[in-house]
Structure 1
Amino acid sequence: MAALAKLVVIGFIVLTIIYVCLSLYSRSVRKGKLEEWWEEEGRPGDREAYIEAGLKDYEGSLRRKLIWGVYIVPVAVIGAVIYFTNFH
């Protein structure tokens, strides 16, 4: 039982670090694209307002939600491996 608790705690910490890194990286990539698009569109309006509106749209995007797969996929795979190893 202690081994399972250790796996859960360490796994959660590692997955959280990966999630935070992916989230920050994805946000910075989106911000870079928004800055590039602002330049290409002929600099419409205030740059900061344009980028802020784009990042607000990004917060509700599918890409942002898919990053939660960092938690879901490994937990499902480990759960399946434990299940099939012990009960089949």
Structure 2
Amino acid sequence: MLALARLLGIGLVVLTVIYFSLSLYSRRVRRDKLEREWDEEIGAGDREAFVRAGLKQYDGSLRRKLILGVYIVPLSLMMLIIYLTNFH
């Protein structure tokens, strides 16, 4: 039981680092796309307000929520493997 707790603890720390890295990367890519869109298509007005509004819209998007799969998929697979190993 202690080994499972240690595995879960270390796993959650690693998954948290991966989640934050992936989240920051995805947000940076979105910011770059918004800035490029501003430069190529709009070019007039307040660029920072446009980027800020786009990032606010991104915060509520499905892509942002899908990044939580970093936690769900590995933990689900681990629980499935434990179940199949012990009870099947």
Q: TM-score, normalised by structure 2?
A: 0.97
Paired with 1:42 and 1:34, the residues of 2 have a C-alpha distance of 11
In structure 2, the residue matched to 1:52 is: 52
Structure 1, unpaired ranges of 5+:
none
Matched positions, count: 88
In structure 1, the residue matched to 2:28 is: 28
In structure 2, the residue matched to 1:74 is: 74
Paired with 1:70 and 1:82, the residues of 2 have a C-alpha distance of 19
Structure 2, unpaired ranges of 5+:
none
In structure 2, the residue matched to 1:18 is: 18
Paired with 2:87 and 2:55, the residues of 1 have a C-alpha distance of 46
Paired with 1:52 and 1:72, the residues of 2 have a C-alpha distance of 29
In structure 2, the residue matched to 1:43 is: 43
Q: Which runs of 4+ in 1 moved over 3 A?
A: none
Paired with 1:47 and 1:75, the residues of 2 have a C-alpha distance of 41
Q: TM-score, normalised by structure 1?
A: 0.97
1:83 aligns with 2:83: yes
How far off its partner does 1:45 sit? 1.6
